[in-house]
Copies of this chain bind each other. A is one copy, B any other.
Amino acid sequence: MIQGRDVVTLDTFTPDEIRYAISRAHAMKAEGFGMPLQGRALAMVFFNPSLRTRASFAIAFSSLGGTVIDLTAERDIWNLELRDGAVMAGVAEEHVKDAARVLSEYADAIAIRSLARHDDWAMERRDLVLVSFQKHSSVPIFNMESVLEHPCQAWGDALTLEEEFGDLRGRKLALTWVYSPTARPLAVPHGAAIMAAKLGMNLTICHPEGYDLDHGVLDLVQRNAREHGGTVRFTSDLADAATGAHAVYAASWGATNLHGRPDEERLLRSRHTDRRITADLMAKTQSGRFLHAMPVRRNVEADDAVVDAPSSLVIRQAGNRLHIQRALFAEVLA
């Protein structure tokens, strides 16, 4: 159903395709999976460091019998030129079109992590590294978190929520900004919002002023909610967001209009140190589950009492990364 596809943005997948991969992950968890990727190779390219994603991608692919090669584009050894027709007399020694075409000769799929590189959100949101690899590669591309999206995180979260609730249509998800001393990427909340809209959930997005999600992503969320029977509402009040929710998804993202100005962003952020998920807040939910993509700053983003509660799904969320990615690899490379 999704054979040969890029897993770059959830935008390209229908709700049926999303549910299909989830059902495959369920089935593979229950029935095992053999070695369908024996003789196949995955090239993982990291423009930014990663541990959780690196581990879960590598183990998912290898557990199917495949070979994983880990390429870290660090220490400036691999400055890629992204502009077509550039006269490459500067620091960039290789054009992304050549890097993508060569890796396509070696590997059956390429996974990319590429986060912020620019001082300007309008430029940043174009996700040029990922998009350029996608354009020039001749094998499927997997997004291991880019500026705009983290589709495998969202897909694993959806698997986790379906394990709890079954069909997610009409379930209430509160996506809530919480304080952290450092701004984290927007990819996780973006993915969570798009996924909720695709699966017909009733989504509440809660954040302080200045912390809107990317406008293009919000358009995508609204459109998908309309098409698939979900709703989207916004609030800046945490208690309002939590009240009646079936799940509270905490995340701490940066202010896009202060992108590239970390001191100003930190100042704005510092006005909201009280935005933390507490047991009292969770008591306002409908036996709400707690979600977080990790790493979580305990007692800053959420209290120990929340993270360690039986209703916390954070460890299962992390574990399901492995299972959904295994299903995606098996289906895309089938």
Contacts and interface: CB of A to CB of B under 8 A. Distances in A.
A295 interface: yes
Interface string A292-334: 0011111110001001000000110011001000000000000
Given A59-B41, A78-B51, A87 B318 contact: no
B69 A58 contact: yes
Contact of A55 (B94, B103, B182): B103
A93 B297 contact: yes
Given A58-B69, A67-B63, A295-B98, A105 B300 contact: no
Q: Which residue among A56, A75, A88, A319 has the maximum number of chain B CB atoms within 10 Å of its CB?
A: A88
Chain A interface mostly: mixed
Interface string A44-57: 00000101101110
Q: How large is the interface on A (under 10, 10 to 19, 20 to 34, 35 or more residues)?
A: 35 or more
B55 A75 contact: no
A89 B101 CA distance: 43
A126 to B, nearest CB: 21
B94 A294 contact: yes
Nearest to A297: B88
A279 to B, nearest CB: 14
B67 A59 contact: yes
Nearest to A41: B59
A62 interface: yes
A299 B106 contact: no
Interface in A272-298: 294-298
A144 to B, nearest CB: 14
B39 A63 contact: yes
Contact of A105 (B63, B71, B304, B318): B318
A322 B87 contact: no
A85 B304 contact: yes
A30 interface: no
Contacts of A86: 298-299
Contact of A69 (B55, B87, B106, B304): B55
Given A55-B71, A55-B103, A98 B314 contact: yes
A4 interface: no
Contacts of A73: 51
A294 B87 contact: no
B54 A106 contact: no
A89 B297 contact: yes
Interface in A62-113: 62-63, 67, 69-71, 73, 75, 77-78, 81, 85-90, 93-95, 98-99, 101-103, 105-107
Contacts of A95: 295-296, 298
A60 to B, nearest CB: 9
A73 B54 CA distance: 12
29 contacts: A41-B59, A41-B63, A43-B55, A51-B78, A54-B69, A55-B71, A55-B103, A55-B106, A55-B107, A56-B106, A62-B67, A85-B304, A86-B298, A87-B299, A87-B300, A88-B297, A88-B298, A89-B300, A95-B295, A95-B298, A98-B294, A98-B296, A98-B307, A101-B315, A101-B318, A102-B294, A102-B318, A102-B319, A105-B318
